[in-house]
Amino acid sequence: MRLDKFLKVSRLIKRRTVAKDVSDQGRVLINGRESKPSTAVKVGDEITIQFGQKLVTVRVERLAETTRKEEASTLYTLVKEEPIPKDTFL
């Protein structure tokens, strides 16, 4: 599954176009590597996203083409959430 679609389906990011823009800006890493919106996401991958002044890292637990709002959080497990020091923005 494409990275931008996974971010949207899992509701980590609400819109696929926003997920694409965030990826294009280099604010999404898969297993520590900068990733494009079309990068394939697999079960077990760790995705790190920069949201403003914090980094959120999740592990992909399963993939689904669509999901209900209540089930979206079952697609991933939160690994860590940490603030970004002011002098090291991506």
Q: Where are the domains of the chain?
A: 3-83
Q: pTM (2 decimals)?
A: 0.88
What number of residues does the chain have?
A: 90
54-60 and 76-83 beta bridge pairing: antiparallel
* Average confidence (pLDDT) over 2-23: 95
Rounded Cα distance between 54 and 2, Å, is 23
Average pLDDT score over the chain: 92
Which pLDDT score is estimated for 90?
Answer: 52
Q: What is the CATH number of domain 3-83?
A: 3.10.290.10
Please, which pLDDT band fits residue 85 given cuts at 50, 70 and 90?
Answer: confident
Give 27-67 pLDDT, tens digit per residue: 999 999 999 999 999 999 999 999 988 999 999 999 999 99
